[in-house]
Amino acid sequence: MSTAGALPPLEPLFTRHGKRTRDVFAFSPDDGLGDGLEKSTRMRLSVKLGDEYKDYRQLPAALLAQQGAVGPARPKGQAVPERKMITGPEAASGSTSSALSILQPPVEHRSTFSSSSTLSKALTQHKTTRIIKPAYHAPWKLVRVISGHLGWVRSVAVEPGNQWFATGAGDRVVKIWDLASGQLKLSLTGHISTVRGLAVSSRHPYLFSCGEDKMVKCWDLEANKVIRHYHGHLSGVYALTLHPTLDILLTAGRDASVRVWDMRTKAQIHVLSGHTGTVGAVECQDSEPQVVSGSMDSTVRLWDLAAGKTRVTLTHHKKSVRSLAIHPTEYSFASGSAGGNNIKKWKCPDGNFVFNFAGHNAIINTMSVNSEGVFFTGGDNGSLNFWDYGTGMPFQTMEDVPQPGSLEAEAGVFCSTFDVTGTRLITGGADKTIKVYAEQSQ
C-alpha cells in the first residue's frame, strides 16, 4: 500500500504521451500533409508575432502625446486644399509588413458611391471650391497700324530702353521702328529666308536674329552690321531667346533641338535633345527651370541648363505647342497649342499644372503677359483674347481686322510682345502689318 502511494500521478503522463503519439501519427501522406504544415506554420508565426511584438505595436501614451500630425503641415493662409496621395487599405499602425495582416486583416471601407447623400454632398462641394474674383483690367484698343513689310510679320522684340522695337518678316528684312511715333528708323538685310526670331540684349548693343535659312546672326547696333554667326542648326531656326543674366543665347528649330550658345565665343555649349518634333517656342528665365521649350510633338520640356538634360516633360497638350509665355514676376509660365483646353498655366519649378484658360478655340501662335497680370493670346484665325492671368478669366475678346486689300484669311496673328512698361502691346500678322494696342484711359 505504501508503494502505490509513491507512484507519480497519471494525468501528466497521459498528456505527455498523448502529445508524442499525436506528433508521430497525426498526419499521413493521404491526409493533405502540405495543407496541415502551412496552417501550422501560419499559426506558429501568428503566436510568435503576438508574443514578441504585442508590447510594441502601439507607442506608450507618453510618446503618443508627443507625436505631431503625420505628413507636412500646410502653409498658413492656403485656401485650396492640396491633393492627397492615393493610399491602400490601412494596415497595422507603424508597419507595412504583410505578416501583420495575419493578426489584423484590412478593414473594409464602404464606397462613397453607395450613399447618394454622400455623393451629392461631394459634388456640391466640388462646384463651390474655386470661385475666385478676377482683378480688374482696363479694356484694350487698337491705336496704330504700321505698314512696311512685304511679307508675313513673324517676329517682334522691344529694346530694353523702350525707345524702339524690331520686327522680322517673310520679306527677309529686319526693320527697326520708333516706338513712340511708329516711324521706320532702319532696315537690316542679310537673311535669305523668313526671319522667325528676334531678341535684343539688355547688357550689350546687340540684336540677335534667326530664320528659316538656318542662320543665327548677331548684329552690332553701333555699326549696324553682322559681327557673328552661330553655325550648327541642321534646318530652319524658329525661336530665339536670351538668358537674362548670363551671356547665353538659346535657339530652337526644325531639327528638334534647343541649342545653347556662348554669345561672345560663338561656341555651342549644349545641344538640348529630347524632343521628337520641331521646337517652335523656347523661353528663358534666371531661376529654375532656366529653359522651357514647346514642340510640335505636343510636349513641353523643362531643362536643367547646367547639366544639359531634361528635368521634366509635360505631356498634357494634345496637339503641337507653338507658344510659351513666362510671367515677369510670378514664378509660373503658360503654354499654348491648338484645340480645346489649349492654353495651360504651369507652376515652377516642377511644372505643376495649375489650370486651363478655357475659351480660345484656335491655333495659338503667340502669347504675352505683362507684370500687371494681363495675358494676351493671338490665334491663327485672327482672334485676340485678353485674360486675367491670376484666375484664367477672359475680360476682352477682339478680332484682328486685315488691312485693306488683304484677304479675310490673312487675319492671323503670328507674334506679340508687351513693351517694357506693359502698357502697349505690339503684334505682327499675316496681313504684313504691325498693330499697336494700348489700354483705354478712364
At 318-371, the pLDDT tens digits run 999 999 999 998 899 999 998 778 899 999 888 999 988 988 888 999 999 999
Q: Give residue 74's pLDDT.
A: 47
Backbone angles phi, psi at 173, to 5 degrees: -115, 140
For the cut 60, the answer to whether the pLDDT of residue 72 exceeds it is no
Burial 141-163 (b: 16+ CB within 10 A, else e): eeeeebebbeebbbbbbbbeeee
pLDDT at 67: 66
Please check the confidence at residue 246 and state whether its pLDDT lies above 70: yes
Q: Torsions phi, psi of 36, nearest 5?
A: -65, -40
For residue 5, pLDDT beyond 50:
yes
The predicted structure's pLDDT at residue 26: 66
Question: With bands split at pLDDT 50, 70 and 90, how would you rate the model's confidence at 90?
Answer: very low
Percent above pLDDT 70 for the chain: 81
Model-level pTM?
A: 0.69
Provide the pLDDT for residue 134.
81
Domains annotated on the chain, with CATH: 140-439 (2.130.10.10)
Q: What is the mean pLDDT of residues 407-436?
A: 90
Say if residue 147's pLDDT is above 70: yes
Amino acid at 72: P
Q: Which residues contact 211 (CB under 8 A, 6 or more apart)?
A: 168, 172, 191, 192, 193, 194, 195, 196, 197, 236, 237
For residues 340 and 362, what is the distance between their CA atoms, to the nearest angstrom?
8
- The pLDDT, as a whole number, for residue 83 is 44
Determine which of 91-95, 337-341, 393-397 has the lowest per-residue pLDDT on average. 91-95
